[in-house]
Amino acid sequence: MGNILGIAGSHNGGVALYIPERNTIEVIEVERLINVKNAAYATYNPAIDPNECTQLIKAYVKKHFNVDKFDVVRSISSDFDNRHVAYDYDFDIFEHNTQRFDKDGNVLESSSDTGMCSGDGWAAYHHKSHAANTFYQSNFEDALVFSFDGGGDDGWFLGYHFDKTKPKNEQVKTIHFSFRDMGSPYFFLGYFIDDIDYIMDWGEACLTYAGKLMGYCSYGDVRDEWYQPVKEYYNRWIREGWRPVENEAHDILTKLSEQTGLKFDWLTYDDGAKVPSGKNRLQGKDAYDLIATSQKVFEDIFFEEVKEYMDLYKTNVCITGGCAMNRQETLDKAGELIHGDRAKDYGDAYDNHERIAEGWNIILKKMLMTHGYFTAAHVALMMDWVKTSRLLETINHDDSWVDKAGYTALGAEFAALDARDLETKIKDARNGTRTTNGDVHAKERVGSARGASRLNGSQKNSN
């Protein structure tokens, strides 16, 4: 097989190149190429003309990899203006989803399988791509993978069972398909939250609001009286028959308003279409609690959807797609870390950080007087003070003493390096080396401290 070009044309689009001579896979993200966040290549509101984007990619590939001809181009979501952007590349075979074409656009063959280690197909749809990308980067031999988001070319919520012990073309099996759209009802509430910048465009909003809402929900509380209305709100976004539920958003939100007492402001166009107005948006406690309740409902519905498979297969589980989320248990673990053993060792988090700030301010003031800028030795001093402030709470905390010894030794070496005269610094830079102007003991001190740290660790492990 010769050079292969893979095209992902939707949002966060880009291309991947397999170059046999290099035995590497190279990836070019459109977002980075044109410096537009979440940029699409061909579909989903491309940021620049797809034809122009193609020319940029071709020029980049030629310049950096000296490649301008491909044996095979494989694509998904690469159609623009009734034509695939792939036809602007020089290729022998073009494969898009389940069809294989020649350079003149003639269909050579079709496949009912979408590939990705599940059969003889050559391209993968949206959710199978998410799932395979997640599973094959994990350490699992066997796992359930659930991919769910605001929609792809193969649906909204799919589940797979992956098993690496099977032959490669049998390693993935689709076990679940659902019309349940979790992404749209989740992000759509962002239109009505005043703390989040209003974005009119659906395509941009759905890529922006979700992440902001996930952080926002931590400020609120789940309201029991809102739980069932919000759950019904989510259930109204099920896209049975592939229906465009977003066209019913006004009616869906009106029902939620009636059940919760919350007000959602809309703009009505001359043709009768209604869109969120961006005015009179929710603020304060109501806004926080609505999103916290939404997050709770979102997580509960997910587990209701997948529980039967988890009970049946009793194996590892991966979550992927645009809606992959951290469960509340993750936040609970963080809370345990802050309020559990670390709090016993270091004291109240605020008090500890306040002590650190006091010490750093002293170092900062003196540094401005003597140097006017931070040096590596100053950083070692500041890190040493972090350990000191922790020891003030628990003076027999062994790890902090060992760390202090390490930072002290490093600081001594860094200070010696910083003290080099300009001629020595230039010489060292040219030679790619560092010398310490005759301080032969600096390295020994660092080695001794690091050895103490290793010894301390081995002693702990042996007890």
* For residues 6-24, average pLDDT: 89
Residues 328 and 299 sit within 8 Å (Cβ to Cβ) = yes
| pLDDT of amino acid 443 | 41
Percent of the chain with pLDDT over 90: 38
User: According to the model, what pLDDT value does residue 180 have?
Assistant: 92
> What is the pLDDT of the chain when averaged over all its residues?
82
**What is the rounded distance in angstroms from the CA atom of residue 258 to the CA atom of residue 252?**
10
Neighbours of 282 (CB within 10 A): 20
Q: What is the distance between the alpha carbons of residues 81 and 101, in angstroms, rounded to a whole number?
A: 18
Non-local CB neighbours of 358 within 8 Å, separated by 6+ positions: none
Q: What is the pLDDT of residues 99-147, one digit of tens each?
A: 888 888 888 887 665 544 444 556 667 888 889 989 998 989 999 999 9
pTM, 2 dp: 0.64
* Neighbouring C-beta atoms of residue 343, cutoff 10 Å: 15
Residues 232-289: pLDDT tens digits?
Answer: 999 999 988 888 888 999 999 999 999 999 999 999 999 989 999 999 999 999 999 9
For residue 192, give the 3-state DSSP assignment.
Answer: helix
The average pLDDT across 371-390 equals 87
User: Are residues 189 and 290 in contact, defined by beta-carbon separation less than 8 angstroms?
Assistant: yes
User: Higher-confidence residue: 432 or 310?
Assistant: 310
Distances (CA, A) of 323 to 40, 73, 223: 19, 29, 23
Q: Which domains does the chain have, with CATH numbers?
A: 1-110 (3.30.420), 124-249+282-325 (3.30.420.40), 345-458 (no CATH)
Buried b (16+ CB within 10 A) or exposed e, 78-116: bbbeeebbbbebebebbbbbbebbeeeeeeeeebeebbb
CB 428 within 8 A of CB 435: yes
Using an 8 Å Cβ cutoff, are 402 and 452 in contact? yes
Report which of residues 396 and 213 the model is more confident about: 213
Residue 347 predicted with pLDDT over 80? no
Strand 79-80 versus strand 70-76 pairing type: unpaired
- Whether residue 171 contacts residue 152, with contact meaning beta carbons closer than 8 Å, is answered with no
Q: Are 179 and 155 in contact (CB under 8 A)?
A: yes
pLDDT digits (tens, 9 = 90+) for 177-232: 999 999 999 999 999 999 999 998 888 888 889 888 988 888 999 999 999 999 99
Assess whether pLDDT exceeds 90 at residue 395.
no
Which pLDDT band, with edges at 50, 70 and 90, does 324 fall under? low
| Torsion sign, CA atoms 404, 408, 409, 410 | positive
Strand partners, 174: 160
What pLDDT is recorded for position 457? 37
Share of the chain above pLDDT 70, in %: 82
pLDDT tens by residue, 64-87:
999 999 999 988 888 888 888 999
